[in-house]
Amino acid sequence: MKTSTTLRHTLLAAALCAGLNGMASAQDFLATAKAKVAAATSAKTKWDGPTTGPKAAADKTIVYVASDMRNGGVLGVSKGAEEAAKAIGWKIRVLDGQGTVQGRTAAFNQAIALKPAGILLGGFDAKEQAAGVKTATGSKIPVVGWHAAKEAGAVDGMFFNVTTNAQDVAEIAALHAVATSDGKAGVVVFTDSAYAVAIAKSNAMADVIKKCTGCTLLGVEDTPLADTSNRMPQLTTSLIQRHGAKWTHSLGINDLYFDFMGPTLQSAGGAAKDLKNLSGGDGSESAYQRIRTGRFQAGTVPEPLNLHGWQMVDEINRALAGEKASGYSTPVHLVTADNIKGDGGPKNSFDPDNGYRDAYKKIWAK
């Protein structure tokens, strides 16, 4: 009996210790989430990109092949590339893949036929167009991507893929849901399995929510970005019926998912009207407007689209000079109603106040 009592006390002590450790762990996770969110929402005022590189090559023409110019991120990068091309003294053509594999293949083939100095891939997986990438590089046409692979770097035949780390982007969006709910979020994640970078993001989002002991991952919804206007109203209604008030936060791999949820949420009323939507890309104009007015979107993790356009042009210039890529990957930034007035917010975009235009012009003028 004595041994049994001692054993029982030992087990009770162990259970209590485990419970206290669990509480401490949950508190630590929440504190970490809030600290990371605070860092990600800080102003971006210092240039942390390349400061050296080759002088501008003269009289070049490049082509930007867009996945879908209806996508705000793809459109924003194209504008940055056009701005940078003008600054460096080049010509640029933009070809629209119109949201389909067939359209992107046709646009890529047209780009190669133009025999440009370089090709920019805007927002689609380079592996999808592996044959085109191989043909281009075999013809001495360097290929630089934006969101063309899961990570930044020389991958999948490209000279360089320009992107903010997808893992960081996804994590900070999910951590915002954790932080603002005090670790009690009920989350639905929206993704598009047609894109490797989208799957990487949604997996990272789901992992964060799973690590939050008081949060609930209600589901991961795979629905095409190109068909959000048709699918999202009905899907939103279905999710409201399925989860009710348990659904407090949405995490999307792109702002497009939230472009068509507003009317459905408004008509549903109740808890649905207060649903907090957060996006891990790309900071569209409509997303900024929703965040500013506090209607149907709480935050977005935009990438500096215009800056990325400039970086793509700079990477092509490095390739033409026979130099290595810059290796630059922009740090993560979170836009909320509290910081939307800075870093390009008044113009509905994330355009860092860090002097990147002057930095690149200085490189090219050497």
Query: Which tens digit of pLDDT belongs to each residue from 191-243?
Result: 999 888 899 899 999 999 999 999 999 999 999 998 999 999 999 999 999 99
Residue 275 predicted with pLDDT over 80: yes
Average pLDDT, stretch 82-110?
Answer: 97
Neighbours of 294 (CB within 10 A): 9
Euclidean distance between CA atoms 213 and 182, whole angstroms:
11
Contact 128, 158 (CB under 8 A): no
CB 51 within 8 A of CB 363: yes
H helix intervals, the chain: 2-40, 72-88, 101-113, 130-138, 166-180, 196-211, 228-243, 262-268, 285-293, 305-320, 356-364
pLDDT at residue 3 in the model? 47
Q: Which residue would you say has higher pLDDT here, 156 or 3?
A: 156
Q: Tell me how far apart the terminal alpha carbons of the chain are, to the nearest angstrom.
A: 87
pLDDT at residue 365 is higher than 60:
yes
Q: Is 30 exposed, middle or buried (0-12, 13-18, 19+ CB in 10 A)?
A: buried
Both structure tokens of 16: 């209590």
All domains of the chain in start order, with CATH: 61-163+304-330 (3.40.50.2300), 166-300 (3.40.50.2300)
Confidence of residue 8 (pLDDT cuts 50, 70, 90): low
Q: Which residue did the predictor score with more confidence, 355 or 16? A: 355
Cβ neighbours of residue 305 under 8 Å, at least 6 residues apart?
A: 73, 76, 77, 79, 80, 282, 283, 349, 350
Are 131 and 101 in contact by the 8 Å Cβ rule? The answer is no
Q: Supply the mean pLDDT for the chain.
A: 92
The model's confidence at residue 16, banded by pLDDT at 50, 70 and 90, is very low
Q: What does the alpha-carbon distance between residue 262 and residue 259 come to, in Å, rounded to a whole number? A: 7
pTM of the model: 0.77
Cβ partners under 8 Å of residue 147, min gap 6: 73, 122, 123, 124, 161, 163, 195, 197, 281
* CB distance 160 to 144 below 8 Å: yes
Confidence tier at 13 by pLDDT (50, 70, 90): low
Q: For the segment 293-313, what is each residue's pLDDT rounded down to a tens digit?
A: 999 999 999 989 999 999 999
Other CB atoms within a 10 A radius of the CB of residue 24 amount to 10
pLDDT tens for 155-205 read 999 999 999 888 999 999 999 999 999 999 999 999 999 888 899 899 999
Which of 14-23, 51-60, 63-72, 169-178 is predicted with the least confidence, judged by mean pLDDT?
A: 14-23
Per the listing, tokens 């970005």 go with 225
Closest to 336 in 3D by CA, of 304, 284, 301, 307:
301
Q: Which of 19-33, 126-140, 151-165 has the lowest mean pLDDT?
A: 19-33
By CB neighbour count within 10 A (0-12 exposed, 13-18 middle, 19+ buried), where does 15 fall? Answer: exposed
Sheet order of strands, 216-222 included: 216-222, 186-191, 249-252, 276-279, 299-300
Q: What are phi and psi of 343, to 5 degrees?
A: 50, 50
Above 70 in pLDDT, residue 18?
no
Q: Which two tokens stand for residue 56?
A: 């501008």
User: How far, in Å, CA of 347 to CA of 12, rounded?
Assistant: 59
pLDDT category of residue 271 using cuts at 50, 70 and 90: confident
What would the mean pLDDT of 108-128 be, rounded to a whole number?
Answer: 97
pLDDT at 359 over 50: yes
| Preceding peptide of 182 cis, ω within 30° | no
Using an 8 Å Cβ cutoff, are 188 and 247 in contact?
A: yes
Question: What one-character-per-residue DSSP string does 180-248 give?
Answer: HTTS--EEEEEE-TT-HHHHHHHHHHHHHHHH-TT-EEEEEEE--GGGHHHHHHHHHHHHHHHHGGG--
Could you give the CA distance from residue 206 to residue 246 in angstroms, rounded to a whole number? Answer: 16
Query: What confidence tens digit (pLDDT) does each residue in 73-86 have?
Result: 899 999 999 999 99
